[in-house]
Structures are given as C-alpha cells and as structure tokens.
Amino acid sequence: MKLLLSKYVWFDGRYALAEKANVPITTHAIHYGTSVFEGIRAYWNGENLHVFRLDEHVKRFRRSGQFYNISLNFSDEEISGAITGICKKNKLKRSCYIRPFYFVGEYGIDLHVTEKAPTNVAIITFPFGDLFSKNGITAGVVSWRKFSDRSTPPQAKMGGNYLNSIIATQEAKRNGVDEAVLLDHNGNVSEASGENIFIVRGGQLITPTLASSALNGITRDTVIKIADNLGIKVVERDIARSELVIANEIFLTGTAAEITPIISMDSKKIGDGNPGEITKKMMDKYANIVMNRDDGRYSHWLTAVY
C-alpha cells in the first residue's frame, strides 16, 4: 500500500520535508525492530479537524517504550503539540492517519538497550479513509498463535512485535479471506492481526480479556464505554474458537479499522451475512462521535487542530 505522505514530517523536534528525513542504514531499529509506534486518526467534519483520543494515544506511546527501556526524550505535551502541529503544517482539511514513532538510532549491534541509547522521534501524516469495507469482511483463524507475556510484552506497540501479524496475514490471504484471527497460547481467541475482536451473543458484547494477549486497544476501550452508556452489557472473558462460528455478530475494532463487521468466519456465514443490529448501532455511534456530531458527552475525546 503506497502512502500519499503529506509534504512535511516532524522529526526530532523540527518540521522537515518528508524526503529530507532520513536515517543511516546502521540504525539499530532497522536491524532489531527496536521501534515504538502509535496509530492515531484525525477526522475532518467540514468545520474542523479533530484528533481522536490524543491523550490516551500519547500516554500509551510512552508506556510502550518503557517496557524495553527505550527513551522518549520529549514530554507528553511536546508530542501532543507536534501531532496537532504537523496537521496544521500540512494544512490538512480531510480525515487522516497520524503515525508517531520513536526508535533506537546509531547504537551499533549491541542488544543491551538502556535508557541512555540514542533515540529519534518522527511523526508522519497522510489522508486515510476506510481500511476495510464497512459492509463487512471475511476472516479465518490461522495456525500461528499470538505471542504472549511468556515471550514479549503484548501491551507494547513495538515494530518487531508485528512480524507476528504479518505472517498471520499472509496465511489468511493464502486462505482467501480478508483478515486473520489468532488464538492465544491456551487456544482461546486473542485478536485479529491488527484489531481487537468482539462477538455478540444473546444481546451481549463479549471480548477476550487482556490475559489472552489482546492489546488494550483504545478503540476497544471506546466501544466498551459506548456500550455501557447505551445499556449494552459487555463481558470480558475467554472465547473458545468454536464460539466464533455460532456468534450472532462479530466485529473488529482498531484505530485504522474503526469498527469493522465480520460477515463470514472460517467460511461460515455470521448471522444473515450482513452487519448485525448491535454492530451497526456501534458503528453509527462511533462515526457520530469522531465527527463531533454527537450530543457532546464524548467531546473530551476530541482535540481540535484549528
């Protein structure tokens, strides 16, 4: 997927032309995956551009690096200001994706990374619409398992961690489906390659616990809070693989995916093969919130750029 990258990026505290923001081939992160990233969306509603849940993203951004003693040498306020600032610098007046990341720079081949290791920080932006079809996608359980705390921290959004997602996605595509679903080390449902997963049974939303190696997703948390306010019960528990194919509805959540219905799982139709009623209710509510067209209850989740 070729990105229509915006003209300017933010790199180590300064704005720079995208083509000028280069790093040496000896950068540690290129060799070992010692990079930390976030995916953030900003939505243009015709009047202003609003970054969704900026504070939560920035806090997780820093926390991910702390698992590996990788230093983010800018304050949360500086990073937040840089995120809204790069949108302004690029004069963005359309919905976009924002990717802040930091990484270990020139550090040789030493695997003993400490807080003193040199790091670089960058933020890029690009226009972005739907990752998946809002009419629904197909999915299937793959043979690869989601990594767990037994091997590497699942709550750290590290570049190297996503090799697990890449190999799972490759298998899913070979199997002829749009997205992969991974099981945890106990054989229960964990998450999709880049999204959390919810099933609907008996009018309730059910999602795996964080002990399943699922990421504590910000969109996941958003859905849980929205459901609570709508009077829809949410249960966090183990989900057996067999529950997927008997679910009334299934949907994925993530910053890039937003809320995406799954209409076929392991070649079996979910419900009537269309997005279910609860899924559609959550999709509509989410869309109104991020576009600042709701009743104001969730306005604290939006940071205006202009």
Q: Which residues are catalytic?
A: 157
Q: Which residues pair with 15 in a beta bridge?
A: 10
- 3-class secondary structure per residue, the chain: CCCCCCCEEEECCEEEEHHHCCCCCCEHHHHHCCEEECCEEEEECCCCEEEECHHHHHHHHHHHHHCCCCCCCCCHHHHHHHHHHHHHHCCCCCCEEEEEEEEECECCCCCCCCCCCCEEEEEEEEECCCCCCCCCEEEEEEEEECCCCCCCCCCCCEHHHHHHHHHHHHHHHHCCCCEEEEECCCCEEEEECCCEEEEEECCEEEECCHHHCCCCCHHHHHHHHHHHHCCCCEEECCCEHHHHHCCCEEEEEECCCEEEEEEEECCEECCCCCCCHHHHHHHHHHHHHHCCCCCCCCHHHEEECC
How is residue 129 written in tokens? 């619409």
